[in-house]
Structure 1
């Protein structure tokens, strides 16, 4: 099984860290997907270009501006340019107050036509204390 260190994805999430693999991580087969300096290796889930209008790199982290979910209409969901099947993911992230975000995987770009978020499985990242969606679900 290949291992990948994913250090970026989906709005309102900032990923921290040195954005470098240790010698042990390299030896174990991990691949760094975000270097903290460029968006190389990433693109919009809805097109070939990186959505610079939605994302920026600040202090080695990816940032988006609060958008009330409108980033998906601006092709703001991002995916890797490489495709992966069997993988482990390790992510550092920060949430802003009221954030509703996630880390999507197995995204199918051919299904991402029109407005809306990218189709794929998602690890939800939500500010449970301050986002109204936290009150809509069920515990467990």
Structure 2
């Protein structure tokens, strides 16, 4: 999930941007794409899948804003772990949200995640990386919620539970596994059609960028950021929300 505190300076910055989708910023946010060693099967490669995590390094990712991935993001036994032992405000010291080097438009993303007891994180997509305008990825990109539904306070809020399109659509049925167990998450985005799958079950489906989408955003906390949910392509982020979280088997197929 995102922080609910709205900073006046951030709001003013966001309101100054126009509200058209698929925008291009004057800021230079280009990032070189680092090749990633594939962990895929031959069949997956034939199907067009590409690995986004080699199980050994953070190649293919950078900290939101362009810096290298911080030391709190550790690779351990083929798993990407955000080590939350040293807090810094509401995030982790030398952590922060990390984003893919490459932007994606029509895609099918698959990964496995595991959250700590009472933990919170998220998978964010269609991110426009321009920190001069947007301090955090969630100011532009929609999110698939990662949460411990049994313990975290957000689980009491409709549209804030694991698998939800955060603050927009409640996922159903509930298929999330308990904290410290692996979940298979999938996000499919193609020509405006958005689908979430959790542990093999479709839990969210909607159409982006139409009048219904705009109305839904207007009724959410994201109404404070006029550019939220307007971009038709962008980077993918793994969120630092101040808790231990683990990711593995991250792969994507462009559609």
Contact 2:148 2:155 in 1 (8 A): yes
1:72-94 CA distance string (max 9 Å, x none): 78561011111111100111111
Aligned to 2:54, what secondary structure does the other structure show?
A: coil
From 142, 153, 156, give the equivalent of 1:135.
156
Aligned to 1:36, what secondary structure does the other structure show?
A: coil
Q: Which runs of 5+ in 1 are unaligned?
A: 1-18
Q: Distance in 2 between matches of 1:122 and 1:105?
A: 7
From 16, 39, 55, give the equivalent of 2:58.
39
TM-score (norm 1): 0.73
Contact 2:122 2:144 in 1 (8 A): yes
Contact 2:121 2:145 in 1 (8 A): yes
TM-score (norm 2): 0.42
Deviation at 1:46, TM superposition (A): 2.1
Aligned to 2:58, what secondary structure does the other structure show?
A: coil
Query: In the alignment, does 2:105 pair up with 1:85?
Result: yes
Q: Distance in 2 between matches of 1:69 and 1:128?
A: 23
Deviation at 1:112, TM superposition (A): 6.8
Contact 1:46 1:75 in 2 (8 A): no
Q: Which runs of 5+ in 2 are unaligned?
A: 1-37, 162-169, 171-255
Partner in structure 2 of residue 59 of structure 1: 77
Q: Structure 1 residues 36 and 58 mapped into 2: Cα distance closer, same or farther (>3 Å)?
A: same
1:3-51 CA distance string (max 9 Å, x none): xxxxxxxxxxxxxxxx710111000110000001011110011223212
Partner in structure 2 of residue 16 of structure 1: none
Contact 1:37 1:57 in 2 (8 A): yes
- Aligned residues: CA RMSD: 2.6
Partner in structure 2 of residue 10 of structure 1: none
The structure that is strand-richer by fraction is 2
From 110, 115, 124, give the equivalent of 2:145.
124
Partner in structure 2 of residue 95 of structure 1: 115
Query: In the alignment, does 2:121 pair up with 1:108?
Result: no
Aligned to 2:107, what secondary structure does the other structure show?
A: coil
